[in-house]
Structure 1
Amino acid sequence: MSNTADAIIIGGGIHGASLAFHLGQRGLKSLVLEKKTLAAGATGRSSGLVRMHYDLEPESRLAWKSFEYFRHWKDIIGGDSGFTRTGFIQLVSENYEEALRGNVAMHQRIGIPSLLIDPEDVRRLAPFFRTDDFNVAAYEPESGYADPNAVAASLMDAAKRFGARLVQDCAVTGIQLASGKVSGVSTSQGDFSAPIIVNAAGAWAQSIAAMAGVDLSVDTWRHDVAFVRQPKSIPANYPTVIDNIHSMYFRSETGGLTLIGLEDKNPIGESPDGFTDRAQPGFVERAIERICERIPSMENGDLHSDQGGYDGISPDQRAILGQIGPEGFYAQCGFSGTGFKIAPAVGLCMSELIVDGAAKTVDISPFDPHRFERGDLLKAEHAYEDIWH
């Protein structure tokens, strides 16, 4: 195996695979170095939501471009993404109704199929939902969820067709520099050389950046999920939901299950190598209590399983994309729990930045890694409350 490549990508999650694919389309051969196995980190623990509803326009634009991939996965990438169209509903309290209206208007301006609906509309879509605690909701009829492991695997397979290589069980232990430029990496499997190194290491991104002498503004965030067996009164598929009223998101899952994630009391700053086979204590009880608030008949369900995971989180809970530190060193991390659905477009835009000097498909300059030094944190025009607190 050759130890030289056009680019080294550290991290074998969906973002590493997406970048390897898009760089391959531009004629660059990548080495993807993964300390465990493909999708072993945040990707494999992702809830897989595919929706375009963000309160920051560049994120919605990335999600909209990525949706083109999910909708035509077999033709663009090959293989299977597991995309399931359920429709998507965003619920907010009355304090954020105007923000919701403003964001739907922004989505519609972009071209996203998004509309405002009322509680009666929600009852028609999901008669078993409680609908007496909101006045308006956002609805994306084309959205749903996909299979994160299948997405990462098919992206990596597509990247390999362009000459990319995946090296698993390969922990990066150092980044080599020469005359202010990156030149390669040291790993548990020897040294590898490339003039471009991309930090797509997710929850491990801060420690990887430090190897290049970079103080990257990214920490770890823990995300737990529970899977509940639905009672027979609930259909197999129903709309995917982000319920800001209850700091929760949920969706149907194959096998008659509902996946539940919570957006509060998620620890920040823990080791990304922490125990993730089960959720943290108390999580399941809180998740079940909240899902029963929105779907009262879920009282007749029962717990199937639960698990944890870690992702990287930035100070403004937005992605970190761009060159930082020595020449040839790039960050593609800090997705703060929402990176799955935008990964295809991020890989495309990062490949444009690396090869052409700037992204043209979507302007990713707002996600510049240097914004934190400037105190220029990203804030939406119609912002919702901070989550993952």
Structure 2
Amino acid sequence: MCFKVVICGAGVVGSSVAYFLSKRGVPAAIVDRAGVAPAASGKAGGFLAKDWNDGTPIGPLASLSFSLHEELAQTLGLDSYRRLSCHQVAVSGPSGSEPKRVDGVEWVDIGVQGHAVMGTEKTIAQVHPKQLTEALMKSALDHGCSFHVGVVQEIKTELRGDSKHVAGVIVDSQFVPCEKVVIAMGPWSSQCTQGLKLPPMLGQKYHSVLMQNERELSQAIFFHGLGDPEVYPRPKGEVYVTGFPDTPVAVEDLPGQEVVRPDVVNRLTETMKLVSTELGRAEVTRYQACYLPISVDGLPLIGKLEEVEGVYIATGHGCWGILNGPATGLVMSELIVDGVAKSVDISPFDPNRFKVFDDMHRVGSSADSC
């Protein structure tokens, strides 16, 4: 059987591509070694900001995707989606004085030095990324797509006249023929191709702690001080705490098997005790870690490769992967079906901007490990 489209990766980007392709009547086969949303798409915070990327190449993509999130939440019935506010709060830690609430700050009451509004319910929202990704995948499967657990080892190409075309992919040492392939494997995208003129994809490791608070909070906080952690309250009292990122590296951990370092998650937990009486007594329910995909120039790779007909890539979204996943899926479906992205200009993310690379820097150096 020759698949029309094979999507490598079942995170939020790959699942979004499958979802929007299925809406166009194009059934895709999605392949992932660890299931649906095994890595960052299951462990990220799901913080959504409409206008924080305004004035940058990502701005139009983010604005479109912010709107798509609300539409998808209604269509897919996502109860984790909601609007909330966001503040930056400067803190110094305990000063010996009694905890004190500050007007405008919902739950930080220790060592507050100042605060500023970063966004209101008009521009800030959130969604649980795992719920979103699984719902996108379920809808895609209900509309003709198929999901396969397997390790994508290589993209095979063939010459047709004077041009190189995709022939298929190698999955678990078996050749799977296809007409088009989409690389959407986040920081592991570098490991499933050989010889393509693309830069290495790196991963930036973030740890996070999940807490269960006694009440539901509705104000996300970006701290200034004490290492600048970030806190995203979720519905039903759950609170997501993250921060203290590692330097971007070539990822060795497998998807879904990211190693959690006790020193980092303990630091996150202890920091909450230094800023909030409320979160200081909240129950810790989970420690976890994930890698955010980082490109060498900081911009995503979204588009079609010129050197091989039928190869597309969508990765490198950094900390805005959950936010920009839906819009990326939409424009990729347009590119595949119509030959051009219509909803937003993706030229700043053209993967062909990396045409000249030394062989040692090309992707595909660890093809068997993805």
| Structure 2 partner of 1:382 | none
Q: Structure 2 vs 1, CA of residues 130 and 18 (structure 1 numbering), >3 Å: closer, same or farther?
A: same
1:106-145 mapped onto 2 (5 Å cutoff): 123-124=103-104, 126=106, 128-129=108-109, 132-134=112-114, 136-142=116-122, 143-145=124-126
Shift of 1:178: 1.1
1:291 alignment partner, SS class: helix
Shift of 1:125: 5.2
Asked if the contact 2:88–2:115 (Cα under 8 Å) also holds between the matched residues in 1, the reply is no
After superposition, the C-alpha distances for 1:193-217 in whole angstroms (9 at most, x for unaligned) are 22211100112100113x3534333
| Structure 1 partner of 2:64 | 65
Q: Which amino acid aligns with 1:124?
A: G
1:305 alignment partner, SS class: strand
Q: Which amino acid aligns with 1:156?
A: M
After superposition, the C-alpha distances for 1:57-89 in whole angstroms (9 at most, x for unaligned) are 44343233223333233554x3x3233425131
| Structure 1 partner of 2:138 | 157
Quick check: 240-249 or 38-47, which moved more? 240-249
Is 1:194 the counterpart of 2:188 in the alignment?
Answer: no
Distance in 1 of aligned mates of 2:216 and 2:340:
44
- Pick from 186, 205, 208 the counterpart of residue 225 of structure 1: 208
Distance in 1 of aligned mates of 2:258 and 2:185:
20
Asked if the contact 1:321–1:331 (Cα under 8 Å) also holds between the matched residues in 2, the reply is yes
TM-score of the aligned structures, taking structure 2 as reference length? 0.81
| Structure 1 partner of 2:265 | 284
Asked if the contact 2:34–2:255 (Cα under 8 Å) also holds between the matched residues in 1, the reply is no
| Structure 2 partner of 1:85 | 82
After superposition, the C-alpha distances for 1:104-125 in whole angstroms (9 at most, x for unaligned) are xxxxxxxxxxxxxxxxxx8335
Distance in 1 of aligned mates of 2:157 and 2:168:
7
Mark the runs of 5 or more structure 1 residues left unpaired by the alignment. 94-121, 376-389
Shift of 1:321: 0.9
Share of identical aligned residues, percent?
22
| Structure 1 partner of 2:319 | 337
Q: Structure 2 vs 1, CA of residues 265 and 212 (structure 1 numbering), >3 Å: closer, same or farther?
A: closer
Distance in 1 of aligned mates of 2:6 and 2:29:
5
How many residues are treated as equivalent by the alignment?
339
Shift of 1:185: 0.8
Mark the runs of 5 or more structure 2 residues left unpaired by the alignment. 91-101, 358-370
Shift of 1:330: 1.2
- Pick from 38, 41, 52 the counterpart of residue 40 of structure 1: 38
2:302 alignment partner, SS class: strand
Distance in 1 of aligned mates of 2:105 and 2:133:
31
TM-score of the aligned structures, taking structure 1 as reference length? 0.77
| Structure 2 partner of 1:184 | 168
Shift of 1:358: 2.7
Asked if the contact 2:153–2:173 (Cα under 8 Å) also holds between the matched residues in 1, the reply is no
| Structure 1 partner of 2:361 | none
After superposition, the C-alpha distances for 1:172-193 in whole angstroms (9 at most, x for unaligned) are 1221111111111111273222
Q: Structure 2 vs 1, CA of residues 268 and 290 (structure 1 numbering), >3 Å: closer, same or farther?
A: farther
After superposition, the C-alpha distances for 1:281-329 in whole angstroms (9 at most, x for unaligned) are 3112321343345435433335332111223211233321112341211
Asked if the contact 2:4–2:180 (Cα under 8 Å) also holds between the matched residues in 1, the reply is yes
Q: Structure 2 vs 1, CA of residues 248 and 10 (structure 1 numbering), >3 Å: closer, same or farther?
A: same
Q: Structure 2 vs 1, CA of residues 140 and 212 (structure 1 numbering), >3 Å: closer, same or farther?
A: farther
1:271-350 mapped onto 2 (5 Å cutoff): 271-273=252-254, 276=257, 279-324=260-305, 325-350=307-332
1:19 alignment partner, SS class: helix
Is 1:239 the counterpart of 2:219 in the alignment?
Answer: yes
Asked if the contact 1:14–1:152 (Cα under 8 Å) also holds between the matched residues in 2, the reply is yes
Is 1:215 the counterpart of 2:214 in the alignment?
Answer: no
| Structure 2 partner of 1:106 | none
Quick check: 362-371 or 61-70, which moved more? 61-70
After superposition, the C-alpha distances for 1:237-283 in whole angstroms (9 at most, x for unaligned) are 22123335543221124553321110433552331328846621311
Asked if the contact 1:217–1:372 (Cα under 8 Å) also holds between the matched residues in 2, the reply is no
Distance in 2 of aligned mates of 1:130 and 1:163:
53
Distance in 1 of aligned mates of 2:204 and 2:315:
13
Distance in 2 of aligned mates of 1:259 and 1:275:
18
Q: Structure 2 vs 1, CA of residues 49 and 330 (structure 1 numbering), >3 Å: closer, same or farther?
A: same
1:72 alignment partner, SS class: helix
Is 1:173 the counterpart of 2:153 in the alignment?
Answer: yes
Q: Structure 2 vs 1, CA of residues 175 and 372 (structure 1 numbering), >3 Å: closer, same or farther?
A: closer
Asked if the contact 1:222–1:311 (Cα under 8 Å) also holds between the matched residues in 2, the reply is yes
1:335-374 mapped onto 2 (5 Å cutoff): 335-372=317-354
Asked if the contact 1:175–1:212 (Cα under 8 Å) also holds between the matched residues in 2, the reply is no
Distance in 1 of aligned mates of 2:311 and 2:283:
48
Q: Structure 2 vs 1, CA of residues 277 and 332 (structure 1 numbering), >3 Å: closer, same or farther?
A: closer
Q: Structure 2 vs 1, CA of residues 272 and 173 (structure 1 numbering), >3 Å: closer, same or farther?
A: same
